[in-house]
Amino acid sequence: MSTLAVHDHGVAHHDDHGHEHHHNQSFLSKYVFSMDHKMIAKQFLITGITMAVIAMILSILFRIQLAYPDKTFPLLTTLLGRFAPNGRISADFYLSLVTIHGTIMVFFVLTAGLSGTFANLLIPLQIGARDMASPFMNMLSYWFFFMASVVMLSSFLVQKGPASGGWTIYPPLSALPKAMPGSGEGMTLWLISMVMFVASSLMGGINYVSTVLNMRTKGMDLWKMPLTIWALFLTAILGILAFPVLVAGVVLLIFDRSFGTSFYLSDIVLNGVQQPYEGGSPILFQHLFWFLGHPEVYIVIMPAMGISSEVMSVNSRKPIFGYHAMVYSLIGITVLSFIVWGHHMFVTGMNPFLGGVFMITTLIIAVPSAVKTFNWLATLWRGNIRFTPAMLFAIGMVSFFISGGLTGIFLGNAALDINLHDTYFVVAHFHLVMGSAAIFGMLAGVYHWFPKMFGKMMDEKLGYLHFWLTFIGAYLVFFPMHFMGLDGVPRRYYAFTEFVSMQRWLTVNTFITWAAIMAACAQVAFLYNFISSIFIGKKATQNPWESNTLEWTTPVEHLHGNWPGEIPTVYRWPYDYSKPGAEEDYIPQTVPFSQTMSSNQAHDFEDNPKGLEELNKFNSTLKANEQVK
């Protein structure tokens, strides 16, 4: 019965019957082809974590090459066979590793793993819906993602190895199978996998948008939605607008590769042999790619921003500072992110005036980002901060976002980008602002909503260990890279042995590799914690973080449809923490103002004149009573 305590509108007759109709689902329909959004969220999460571990191992492999370019590791030959002859990763395979690492991290982990998990879990739970608009499409979305993952990984089994033109797959390199080994079947598999991936993302995104717009519970107007929902909603919109453009670019690439068209190809002599392509424009692909690519980086970071906002508010026991500003800045980012793609192309020989325009739009987008940062700081100010592992990861996200966002100001400046483009400075920038920040947002979400997903608590101490090792490790890995970039060290280099001027960075590279290995080992603490907590973790209570949002009003035991009985009605915004005059330091969204007369403020009734009147009446009687005393 405790599960009902939060509902104030007394639906007296429920629950006793709740379990009667528990039709026995088969294993297949419960765990595999489930249409329940909570199960699909878990599927996305576990697949995402698996892909993350794989991508992390790939990164350690190529970091070993960078740290010890002249040493041989016979073990590598044993593990990788023809890709690492004589104990050293081959140059081509090095590029494959980098490419697949980037692709998996950006798309499979930080897009599907992050949005897929938390949009599926939180959208119905936090807006008060029983499931997604179309549960069937939702299931398809997961299975397309799963197949895309399998195809992507299967490219390691191909004779010539996986795609190796970088995650941006610029043609002609990716379009000419003879240009490098990875541009053969490996690239074909990459393209197939990405098409499936986009299908998955679109099906997911369509569902998220439609659910948020159509299926909110009573009282949940847009301005009462938690920031997580806002972020996930806008992320889905970005995906819907951007991914089709990538498909268009990829379709043209497929035609160039397989049917002999020349959209992207022109005047090519490969190994002394003229190719029959004329008139194409490689820059066209870059335009199409980055029209997706830049929104994509915000697709990655916005859910992390939303999660961090929510987690920081809950754990500072303070309302998020400037809720409206937070939403407007998210909207601003969403809109602006479509007109800045050219900043990835300053030095392609694009019209310099166009470059200037893109530079202006790019630096404008830094403003909403700055606003968000300051608002997070203001949220912490005079809070009552609880350091749960989730809170630590949310803070780590803010720290990384600051560090990485500031270097964006250098790169967004076309004049400075001349010398910084494609150097390690860019690597440092996006690993901090996107890689680390988004991963930390995701981990914050996992630690925070683990009780909701699995009904168990994760171990806090292991969480602390995991956080500090990863946080310090990430800074140790990426901070020095800025200076390598400022020394003009290019990215995607197999070894820094051939240039005399780069050899002095070898010690730094060795250091970075060991920091990376340490951070990677720290993930074992997380994996152990995650898996063991599912089975032997402490049982979770219904609202372990004393949080306001709707998902904590559902029972710990999952049921299809989320709430037994009626879906609760929402009366207030989700951030009434530490309200003066309230009994507890939190007031769930389901508590009507009539029950919290002592803590109501004029601010609560901005668009509700009737409520305001009542408040004034209440206050005046209060005053009158005092005077009588």
Partner 1 sequence: MMAQIQKDNDRLDLAPKKFNMWIFIFTSFMFFAALTSGFIVYSGGKGHGLNVIMPDAFKYSTAVIIISSITLLLASKAAKQLQFAKQRMFLWLTFVLGVAFFAIQVYAWYVLTYKMNVYLTDPNASRSFVYIFTGMHLLHIIAAILLLLNTLAGTYKNIPQVRNLFKMEMTSIFWHFLGIIWIYLYVFLLLNQN
Partner 2 sequence: MGFRKFINSKTLLSFITAFMLLGTNLLMAQTEAAATTGGQTDAPQVDWTGVAYYLLLFFLVCLGVAVIGKILKIYDLTLKIQGKKGMKWNTVMAVVCLVFLIAGLYGAYWSFTVQGSMTLPEAASVHGVKIDEMFTVTTVLTMIVFFITQILLFGFLFQYRHSDKRRAHFLPHNNTIEKIWTIAPAIVLTVLVVFGFFTWQTIMNTTDTKGDINIDITGHQFAWELRYPGKDGVLGPKDFRMVSAANKLGVNFKKRSSFDDLQVDTMYLPVNKSIRLNIQALDVIHSVYMPHFRVQLNAVPGLPTFFKFTPTITTAQMRTQLDDPKFEYLVYCNKICGGGHYNMQKVVRVVTEAEYQAWLSRQKPYLNDALRKELHFAAADQPKTESQNRLALNN
Residues interacting with Cu ion, by CB under 5 A?
Answer: 294
Q: What phi, psi does 309 have (nearest 5°)?
A: -60, -50
514 part of the interface to partner 2, by CB under 8 A? no
Q: Quick one: 42 exposed, middle or buried, by C-beta within 10 A (0-12, 13-18, 19+)?
A: buried
Q: Report the distance separating Cα 203 and Cα 138, nearest Å.
A: 7
Contact track, partner 1, 539-578, x by CB under 8 A: --------------------xxx-xxxx------------
Nearer to Cu ion, 63 or 294 (CB): 294
Q: Report the distance separating Cα 178 and Cα 109, nearest Å.
A: 30
Contacted entry of partner 1, partner 2, Cu ion, none for residue 17, CB cut-off 5 to 8 Å set by kind: partner 1
Q: Report the distance separating Cα 338 and Cα 292, nearest Å.
A: 8
Per DSSP, the three-state class of 586 is strand
- Contact with partner 1 (CB under 8 A) among 130, 224, 456, 492: 130
Name the residue with tokens 């508590």: 591
Give Cα separations from 435 to 52, 103, 269, 513 (angstroms).
Answer: 11, 12, 37, 17
**Three-point CA angle 467, 380, 49, nearest 5°:** 30
Tokens of 554: 């559902």
CB of 297 to partner 2, least distance (A): 19
CB of 411 to Cu ion, least distance (A): 8
Write out the binding residues for partner 1, residues 279-308 only, by CB under 8 A.
Answer: 279-281, 283-284, 287-288, 291
Per DSSP, the three-state class of 561 is coil
Dihedral (Cα; 8, 12, 14, 15), 10-degree rounding? 70
- Contact with partner 1 (CB under 8 A) among 150, 222, 248, 354: 248
Interface stretch with partner 1, choices 11-19, 410-418, 434-442, 477-485 (CB under 8 A) = 11-19
Tokens of 181: 């080994």
Contact track, partner 1, 213-242, x by CB under 8 A: xxx------------------------xx-
Residues 330-341, buried b or exposed e (16+ Cβ, 10 A)? bebbbebbbbbb
Nearer to Cu ion, 215 or 297 (CB): 297
Contact track, partner 2, 246-275, x by CB under 8 A: -------------------xxxxxxxx-x-
20 part of the interface to partner 1, by CB under 8 A? yes
Contact track, partner 1, 173-202, x by CB under 8 A: -----------------------------x
Write out the binding residues for partner 2, residues 461-500 only, by CB under 8 A.
Answer: 461-462, 464-465, 468, 471-472, 475, 479-480, 483, 486-488, 490, 492-496, 498-500
DSSP E strand boundaries for 213-292: 269-270, 273-274
Write out the binding residues for partner 2, residues 167-186 only, by CB under 8 A.
Answer: 170, 172-173, 176, 179-181
- Return the closest-CA partner of residue 445 out of 223, 231, 228: 228
Contacted entry of Cu ion, partner 2, partner 1, none for residue 18, CB cut-off 5 to 8 Å set by kind: partner 1
Q: Report the distance separating Cα 582 and Cα 588, nearest Å.
A: 12
Per DSSP, the three-state class of 577 is strand
433 part of the interface to ligand HEM, by CB under 6 A? yes
Write out the binding residues for partner 2, residues 120-139 only, by CB under 8 A.
Answer: none
- Contact with partner 2 (CB under 8 A) among 5, 32, 157, 415: 415
Decide if 153 contacts 54 (C-beta within 8 A).
yes
Contacted entry of partner 2, partner 1, ligand HEM, none for residue 430, CB cut-off 5 to 8 Å set by kind: ligand HEM
Name the residue with tokens 């961090």: 308
Write out the binding residues for partner 1, residues 431-460 only, by CB under 8 A.
Answer: none
- Contact with ligand HEM (CB under 6 A) among 300, 462, 469, 587: 300
Decide if 44 contacts 200 (C-beta within 8 A).
no
- Contact with partner 1 (CB under 8 A) among 108, 277, 478, 577: 277
Relative to beta strand 273-274, strand 269-270 is antiparallel
Write out the binding residues for ligand HEM, residues 387-416 only, by CB under 6 A.
Answer: 405, 408-409, 411-412
- Contact with partner 1 (CB under 8 A) among 17, 71, 82, 386: 17
Residues 547-565, buried b or exposed e (16+ Cβ, 10 A)? bbbbbbbbbbebebebbbb
261 part of the interface to partner 1, by CB under 8 A? yes
- 542 residue type, one letter: Q
Write out the binding residues for ligand HEM, residues 345-364 only, by CB under 6 A.
Answer: 362
CB of 451 to ligand HEM, least distance (A): 28
CB of 253 to partner 2, least distance (A): 14
Decide if 200 contacts 141 (C-beta within 8 A).
yes
CA Rg value for the chain: 26
CA 135 and chain centroid, separation: 22
- Contact with partner 1 (CB under 8 A) among 255, 464, 493, 511: 255
Query: Which residues contact partner 1 by CB under 8 A?
Result: 11, 13-14, 17-18, 20-21, 129-131, 133-134, 137, 202, 205-207, 209-211, 213-215, 240-241, 243-245, 247-249, 251-252, 255, 259-263, 277-281, 283-284, 287-288, 291, 559-561, 563-566
Q: What is the contact surface with ligand HEM in residues (CB under 6 A)?
A: 168, 297, 300-301, 343-344, 362, 365-366, 369, 405, 408-409, 411-412, 417, 420-422, 426, 429-430, 433-434
